[in-house]
Amino acid sequence: MNNLTMWIDDEQVTSDEKVDVLNKYTQEVFATIPEATHNQVDKAVKAAKKSQEVEFSPYERYEVLRKVAELLEERVDDFAEVMTQEVGKTLKECKGEVTRSVQTLLISAEEAKRIHGEGVPVESAPGSENRMAFTIRVPVGVVAAITPFNVPLNLVCHKIGPAIAAGNSVILKPGEKTPVVALKLAELFREAGLLKNRLQVVTGWGHTVGEYMLDHQGIDMYTFTGSKKVGEQIKKKAGMRKVSLELGNNSATIIHDDADLNKASDLVAARGYNNAGQVCISVQRVYVHESKYNEFSSLLKEKVDALNLGDPFDEQTDVGPMISEEAAKTVKEWVDEAVSEGAELITGGEQNGALFKPTLLGYVTPNMRVCREEVFGPVVSLIPYSNFDEVLDQVNDSEYGLQAGLFTTNLNLAMKAARKIEVGGLIINDTSAYRVDQMPYGGVKSSGNGKEGPKYAIEEMTEERLVVFNL
């Protein structure tokens, strides 16, 4: 068993209290992490602040991030195997996540060289003829990055990459259920020669270690990915400090009457169940035009039935365990409740420990929890509709707004949806779950605020400062 250590003030340290990290398939403990104390968090913040005094040029930041990307690329298999144990998602998916993380770091490295302000034409104002002005972007300072369990490497890279590229010092608190790959990544930053204390990692529970971070006034910005509940707490506690929140969603995808049903059902089957549905943009609510509902439903059922549930290390497995038995039980409760309220159980609905069978529900209505709230499990709900304008309203009838998908060949309808659907991103002819790492990514309403994607995250993680010359 691995007794892991944190990185605080340039040292590998532990603490008396420990948190077990389980292999999510076998449920055996495969590592322990220290529960950081209040003093350790304080020490990390002070060390981060001090590290800001050392010059770190954009090109040096580029070099370190590029080097970490190279080191990670050499260790894809090693990282993926650890991730499969701690998350429970399939080995092939984990390899995909590590490969994406390499890209996120490389894009961040490139963006480090492109941080710039802009000229401001103050001289055009009467009386300001002898002045000139421009903006510069300066680092915010100490950034606290708090990350969730489900995508434990790439979402960490989406925070550390841009924060380092922008010239900040970062204190990372990874999700307590999946902290191991984050700690391994921190080692790569050391190996790559990152300046002292530009990255520190504290581990432990959110309600303790996370809260110590929220209470520390030495932190200049919080970048958080996780649940709406915790996001709200962070926003309250941050006060006037900067906050970037990437929160949940109950993602909708529309299948219009002109859609390619084969393609649409392939993509829904692939993106409604990967990582056991524990993806913030996972396909959850699928609105199908009534004229195609039966055909789409049987095509999709066939593809969902073909998904193999089981050991994530087995190459034949498509869907591994959920993060815990407790999470799987909640999903079971919501599915049973929907069926008792009149939904059709097309397939699935069975739970065994942390394993939950890929489930397809039909004739789901707006007030059912599987529709209204974020399921975060392998459950897709089909909802028939007759009128395009009305379905846009149904999609918007949600407190969330991260991404949505629309299958149609009609350009006018696609543009109408783009203007009307209240989301951070609309994906045409694919599901809500499309994401590549350079794109602007982030939600509206209860899905949060601020954008990720290194270029956009760097804007969040820097301040724009105006410089005016009186010549």
Ligand X SMILES: NC(=O)c1ccc[n+]([C@@H]2O[C@H](COP(=O)([O-])OP(=O)(O)OC[C@H]3O[C@@H](n4cnc5c(N)ncnc54)[C@H](O)[C@@H]3O)[C@@H](O)[C@H]2O)c1
For residue 459, the SS3 value is helix
The string over 22-53, giving b where at least 16 C-beta atoms fall within 10 Å of a residue's C-beta and e elsewhere, is: bbbbeeeebbbbbbbbeebbbbbbebbbebbe
- Other Cβ atoms within 10 Å of 196 Cβ, number: 14
Give the DSSP H/E element, type plus range, for residue 222: strand 221-225
- Categorise residue 239: left if φ over 0, alpha if ψ from -120 to 50, beta otherwise: left
C-alpha to C-alpha distance for 463 and 313, rounded to whole angstroms: 44
In the complex, minimum distance from the CB of residue 434 to ligand LB4VBGO6, in angstroms, rounded to a whole number: 8
Contact partner at residue 435 from ligand LB4VBGO6, ligand X, none, CB < 5 to 8 Å by partner kind: ligand LB4VBGO6
User: Is 313 in contact with 354 (CB distance < 8 Å)?
Assistant: no
C-alpha to C-alpha distance for 365 and 369, rounded to whole angstroms: 9
- Other Cβ atoms within 10 Å of 429 Cβ, number: 16
Contact partner at residue 226 from ligand LB4VBGO6, ligand X, none, CB < 5 to 8 Å by partner kind: ligand X
Question: Between residues 333 and 390, which has the closer beta carbon with respect to ligand X?
Answer: 333
Alpha-carbon dihedral 441, 104, 177, 180, rounded to 10 degrees: -170
**Tokens standing for 277?**
């549905």
- Ranges within 277-306 binding ligand X (CB under 6 A): 280
- Ranges within 432-471 binding ligand X (CB under 6 A): none
Catalytic residue among 35, 246, 374, 452, which?
246
Q: Tell me, yes or no, if 280 is annotated catalytic.
A: yes
Q: Tell me, yes or no, if 371 is annotated catalytic.
A: no
- Ranges within 281-300 binding ligand LB4VBGO6 (CB under 6 A): 281
One-letter amino acid identity for 55?
E
Instruction: Return contacts of 340-349, CB within 8 angstroms, 24+ apart.
Output: 341/365, 341/367, 341/368, 343/368, 343/370, 343/381, 346/297, 346/301, 346/304, 346/382, 347/301, 347/304, 347/305, 348/304, 348/378, 348/379
For residue 344, the SS3 value is strand
In the complex, minimum distance from the CB of residue 149 to ligand LB4VBGO6, in angstroms, rounded to a whole number: 10
In the complex, minimum distance from the CB of residue 279 to ligand LB4VBGO6, in angstroms, rounded to a whole number: 4
- Ranges within 354-383 binding ligand X (CB under 6 A): 374, 376
Residue partners of 132: CB distance under 8 A and separation at least 6? 119, 122, 123, 468, 469, 471
In the complex, minimum distance from the CB of residue 233 to ligand X, in angstroms, rounded to a whole number: 5
In the complex, minimum distance from the CB of residue 67 to ligand X, in angstroms, rounded to a whole number: 26
In the complex, minimum distance from the CB of residue 73 to ligand X, in angstroms, rounded to a whole number: 23
Per-residue x/- marks for ligand LB4VBGO6, 260-279, CB under 6 A?
Answer: -------------------x
Per-residue x/- marks for ligand LB4VBGO6, 416-445, CB under 6 A?
Answer: -------------------x----------
In the complex, minimum distance from the CB of residue 86 to ligand LB4VBGO6, in angstroms, rounded to a whole number: 16
Interacting residue with ligand X among 214, 328, 383, 413 (CB under 6 A): 214
- Ranges within 147-186 binding ligand LB4VBGO6 (CB under 6 A): 150-151, 154
Interacting residue with ligand X among 135, 227, 365, 396 (CB under 6 A): 227
Catalytic residue among 280, 371, 374, 460, which?
280
Binding to ligand X by residue 33, rule CB under 6 A? no
C-alpha to C-alpha distance for 86 and 67, rounded to whole angstroms: 26
Among 78, 71, 75, 69, smallest CA distance to 103 is for 69
Per-residue x/- marks for ligand X, 172-211, CB under 6 A?
Answer: -x-xx----------------------------xxx--xx
**Tokens standing for 215?**
């209470």
Contact positions vs ligand LB4VBGO6 (CB under 6 A): 150-151, 154, 279-281, 435
Q: Catalytic positions, please?
A: 246, 280
Contact positions vs ligand X (CB under 6 A): 146-151, 155, 173, 175-176, 205-207, 210-211, 214, 225-227, 230, 233, 246-248, 280, 374, 376, 402
